[in-house]
Structure 1
């Protein structure tokens, strides 16, 4: 079988990339070693910038229907409610250029279902039960061999197979970072019918030998996501009885309050970054390239935006409209962003920072990218490399004009802006003088 792009991994990063390529007419195949989409709520928070991406990919309505806003935290101690805790800092005035102001909660399993349905609608395919065991690449493409079935030949491949990426390890690309806690953490989806779903229930450690536990009502479901930390040397019990015992020890709830364990997993919070995001014709994206603490809800959002950055570049090169050198800008742009976001999520994990404006990812930029060309002597607030704000121009949302897989030329009082397919300014000038040479450089003729 021959395809343009082979995507390894049907998580959110792989599915988002598949959607972006499919709408560009690129023949891509997503392969997933599991027999189904991965279960569990896992990463449940969608930041405002990711909501903008989802709007462009055509899944926003379904995402809005499936999810909801985060509840306020309720802190418990000794079986009593002792105070409310705002989980996110208020939106600042400077963020009014975005339709979305707060994170939106959608359990990851539902998020994946929505993206898979959209990919299928666009004619894309996910092949389940296909485990990649070997990749070979040459100057023309990549050949993937599987544990069973015929090999696949692709012009490019993208490893979106998670933090333990087999593809990354096979390429010999190192992940450098640190383990953030001495002990493991547990995340589980449970049913507790008698627990108030108005609050995100927070149970701080009650003593020196105790650890944190939280129960967050999952929007669009009748379940709670349970998160708990454990001391070093302790292995979480992932059984129903183990979870019941844990809840009764750390909260005021009786063991029987947990009526069902729907899914559970344990992990060691880690922050790590791949040395490089590309090995010739194979790219790393999502958790395969950067692993975050769950704190701050940055990991899955950064992965989706990796896909959004890479998708239009692959489409342009495969379509013969841009030189292959354009693909070099993927690592150039995304690795510094991932490094910055890793620092932020680690600071939040250590309670050195709050979930504020920076976690919404609206201010991330590519000003220092070789693709960003600023020709004005005095740049204004909107510069080459910046995300374009969702302004209203002549009664029409600017993002409605930008939506779709193409470049857009926008003229504002501050200047002329050539907006990339991912919504960032590629070129900025006082007039269109010099724009032609930039267009030629990026394959626009």
Structure 2
């Protein structure tokens, strides 16, 4: 099999760079390679453990939210956590893959599914974050006019569309993902085998544009509008109006957003008055900065390296630093991108007081149920012991009666 120069690329399962004859290329002998087989498995293990715990807790809390308190943002957050969790469950396979020196022992089906989960999460998580950003823009900048638009039915329909779009973006990569024997390393690697350079260039640009730049532009525009709205001083007035409307409105969607740092329904006459509003405004701006920075810092390095790879494959770059960056920094920058799956539940849920309160209540309820079950078990065990003791006494009485009766007959 003749392998094109770009037939194998670093995506989530990075086999070493492969030349046209299938041999591992050593284009920059003076640039030392990064020891992937030790660094990557360790980073993946940490991300996997922390991310699974955080997302499971977030899913438990969001799934156990009462129907009256379910919101549009909760719906997006729940789907985001599910997307992150599905991907994190595949990370142990990639950790084993790296630790075995790019040898994939799990078969072709697992290779396709695990690689698809990575791409699915790459698109789905960014799309859901974009939806949440747009929802926050509507809730904070247009809290009254958006009440009729921001309902749970539309949010669920939007989630379905996001999943369909993410699957559509993932399907081409899944088609070209496969296991392939690399003779130079004597391993069966899980790689992306592009039919030609057009496939590679199209999917790479789609990843950069659809999976990063366009969502980043939308997110930035939403939060810039939110920042201008509050810094202009109209935010507090809107919150006061929304507070008054919430008292008479039957819709609770815009009145209670546990995971949204400041809610449109604020009571300006409550204790503290202006200072409390100031603290809420400061919390909004800090959370906005955290959302944008986390998204940008986690994924920007990976897409930069992807862009360098596009330029290199088109002949615009042909230097040792470009080769070294693509084949050594891509796995490391992907680790940073993967960490966003562990950061998301912390960023969107655990910094909220309402979320922490629901988590504490859920934990307390679980402890109460466990304690009640243990007491019931102890009670049943005590009742069984009592019955057993009573039965033993009856046996003893019968035995004594039998001895007395035998003595009388003797």
The structure with more strand, counted as a fraction of residues: 1
Q: Is the TM-score greater than 0.5?
A: no
Structure 2 length normalisation: TM-score? 0.29
The structure with more helix, counted as a fraction of residues: 2
Structure 1 length normalisation: TM-score? 0.27
